[in-house]
Amino acid sequence: MTSSPEWDKMLRGKWYHAGDAILQENRTRCRKACEAFNAARDASRREKVKLWREIIGDTRPLPTEHPDAKEDEALFEETDPFVDGPISIDHGLNFKVGKNSFINFNALVLDTCLITVGENVLFGPNVGLYGALHPMDPAERRGLKGPEAGKEIHIEDDVWIGAGATILAGVRVGRGSTVGACSVVTKV
């Protein structure tokens, strides 16, 4: 992906315009990668890791395939999260998830800025991570013509996020925390 002034503003949490061609191209790339991942529901762990890495832009080579399926699956326990689709991610390149973490089905991630998920983190189904912001003033917001911004989200190691929880822009969930089902987390 090539950078653009709008991409750079987006990553820095500044106001930017989402209609930028580079941003649209990357969202399309990510949407197609998510669709491929979601369609591979019954695929092997190896295939799902390969598809996951396409979503997030991880170009590391996969380890050499082990002839035993269970042994082959175990190769990924120390390198990649377990992600259960369907999943929806805005850009993918700004979403980092630690090893031995579990993202349950129907996760929705708006990664306009960096979103990190530590190691050994558990997500219930329908968790939303929303790093995107819009102006509060409707005159500035102007629908699709208005600017957007974002703030980073950081979820530290050993966190459990219950089903249906929403984590908003600018939040840090501390190590070992539990976020109850259907909670809306708005502050650090």
- As annotated, the active-site residues are 134
Q: Which of 38, 47, 5 is closest to 22 using CA atoms?
A: 5
User: CA 50, CA 82: separation in Å to the nearest integer?
Assistant: 12
Pairing between strand 184-185 and 166-168?
Answer: parallel
CA–CA gap between residue 154 and residue 174 (Å, rounded): 8
Q: Coil, strand or helix: which one is 137?
A: coil
At which residue do the structure tokens 């984590």 appear? 167
> How far is Cα 42 from Cα 141, in angstroms, rounded to an integer?
42
What are 135's two structure tokens? 């102006």
**In whole angstroms, what is the distance from residue 155 CA to residue 121 CA?**
8
Alpha helices in the chain (DSSP H): 5-11, 21-39, 45-56, 69-74, 138-141
99 CB neighbour count, 10 Å cutoff: 15
